Amino acid sequence: MTTTLTLIQPDDWHIHLRDGDALATTVPHAAGSFNRVICMPNLVPPVKTTEQAIAYRERILDALMASDLAQARKDAFDPRMVLYLTDHTTSDDIRAAVASGVVSAVKLYPAGATTNSADGVTDIKGRYSVFETMQEIGLPLLVHGEVTHSDIDIFDREKRFLDDVLSDIISHFPSLKVVCEHITTSDAADFVLAQADNVAATITPQHLLFNRNHLLVGGVKPHYYCLPILKRQSHQQRLLQVATSGNPKFFLGTDSAPHATHTKESACGCAGCYSAVHALPLYAAAFEQMNALDKLENFASVFGANFYGLPVNTSTITLIKQAQTIPTSYTYLGDKTLTPLLAGTDIDWQVVSQ
């Protein structure tokens, strides 16, 4: 039985760090496990331009330097920026982003699909000139894959997006690099498998470990609430299969998304699971469940880097199979708290060194 697991240092290809005072909490948590992190741009206001992306990256690095990890991680932690695609994004914006060397991707949020997505795209076909430029220069399109029509059941919105929207984008731009972010269904897994190698997907720890029963049975549990929402157990099992299959189309993206506790535990709780600190132990638990711990390193540390055309990290991180209790909360935004996924419960793995 495996009791020690040493991996190439992983990257998180989908994380929310937020901004301002939140960075004092989220940046050290992310830097504790990951080298490169793809930072989602749905701030208030969103990161729409290269200048805003550069400024945001500087704020993230300032937060790292103000933390206890400053000396250990200052040369290793590499926040990668993403532009928020809007109805007004131009091809010139894309070229400027690539020229900066700071922006690694563009994020498509259908307007109203998730947290801070009000500025998202309302006319996807109107963005085709932007997609053409991205295809030409090799900049990936990261997709929050849900339609937002009020008449479409929330559990069906991912499949409808694949069928009605993404299939059309890919047919028009067959060489465009696309990441289907935080996929949640067997439909999405099979869709990605059916595409060429330029189409990939990230998978979160919550969608590997939980299904909608965890969210709803015995009362609504707000800290399991995320978007896209947890689906049936059969979808969870399919995600486990593809994540642990060794297929390079699937790689790690936590979608760790902080919200102050009082905004999660409210009459209209925010969507998002906060997992940054314990993401690697959670992934280890999922892969161990499938007798596939030998597949975790490629999923966490190799496949994403290869897809983005970046070198694989040379440092390592070690986990041991030893129980730890996840804290009930962290200090957040100065005088508030942040409740992590599985707060107060024991998990079987923990990070011991990097």
Peptide bond into 45 cis (omega under 30): yes
Distance CA 142, CA 98 (A): 15
| Contact (Cβ atoms closer than 8 angstroms) between residue 121 and residue 110 | yes
Give the model's pLDDT for residue 117. 65
pLDDT at residue number 340: 98
Radius of gyration of the chain (CA): 19
Rounded to whole angstroms, how far apart are CA atoms 23 and 61?
A: 9
What the block records as the tokens of 316 is: 């390592």
Cβ(258)–Cβ(279) below 8 Å: no
Residue 54's CATH number: 3.20.20.140
User: What is the H or E stretch that residue 130 is in?
Assistant: helix 128-137
Tokens 């937060």: give the residue.
Answer: 63
Dihedral sign of CA atoms 101, 34, 248, 224 in order: negative
The answer to whether 14 is a known ligand-binding residue is yes
Span 256-281, average pLDDT: 97
- Look at residue 70 and tell me whether its pLDDT is greater than 70: yes
Q: How far apart are CA 205 and CA 45, in angstroms?
A: 28
Mean pLDDT of 303-317: 97
Distance between CA atoms of 168 and 178, rounded to whole angstroms?
A: 13
Q: Which domain covers residue 295, as residue numbers? A: 4-351
Across the chain, mean pLDDT equals 96
> What whole-number percentage of the chain has pLDDT above 90?
93
List the beta bridge partners of residue 252: 203
pLDDT score for 253 = 98
Report yes or no: 192 and 206 within 8 Å, Cβ to Cβ: no
**What pLDDT, on a 0 to 100 scale, did the predictor assign at position 223?**
97
Catalytic residue among 255, 335, 346, 348: 255
Mean pLDDT, range 11-20, rounded to an integer: 98
pLDDT at 61: 98
Q: What is the pLDDT of residue 121?
A: 87
Is pLDDT of 115 > 80?
no
**Helices H, strands E: what count in the chain?**
15, 13
Annotated binding residue at 227?
Answer: yes
Write the pLDDT tens digit of every residue in 209-254: 999 999 999 999 999 999 999 999 999 999 999 999 999 999 999 9
Instruction: Determine whether the annotation assigns residue 18 to a binding site.
Output: yes
* Residue 27 scores a pLDDT above 80: yes
Q: How far apart are the first and last CA of the chain?
A: 22
Q: Classify 79 as helix, strand or coil.
A: strand
pLDDT given at position 119: 75
Q: What is the pTM of this model?
A: 0.96
Q: What's the structural domain count of the chain?
A: 1
Q: Is 107 annotated as a binding residue?
A: yes
Distance CA 101, CA 78 (A): 12
pLDDT of residue 148: 87
258 in Cβ contact with 183 (< 8 Å)? no
- Per the document, the length of the chain is 354
Tokens 């990097």 belong to which residue?
A: 354
Q: Quick one: average pLDDT of 121-131?
A: 92
Residue 251's pLDDT is 99
State the average pLDDT over residues 322-336.
97
Q: How confident is the model at residue 113 (pLDDT cuts 50, 70, 90)?
A: low
State residue 354's pLDDT score.
65
CA 109 to CA 144: how far, in whole Å? 5
Q: Give the model's pLDDT for residue 139.
A: 98
Share of the chain above pLDDT 70, in %: 98
Phi, psi (5° rounding) for residue 26? -70, -35
Determine whether 163 is an active site residue: no
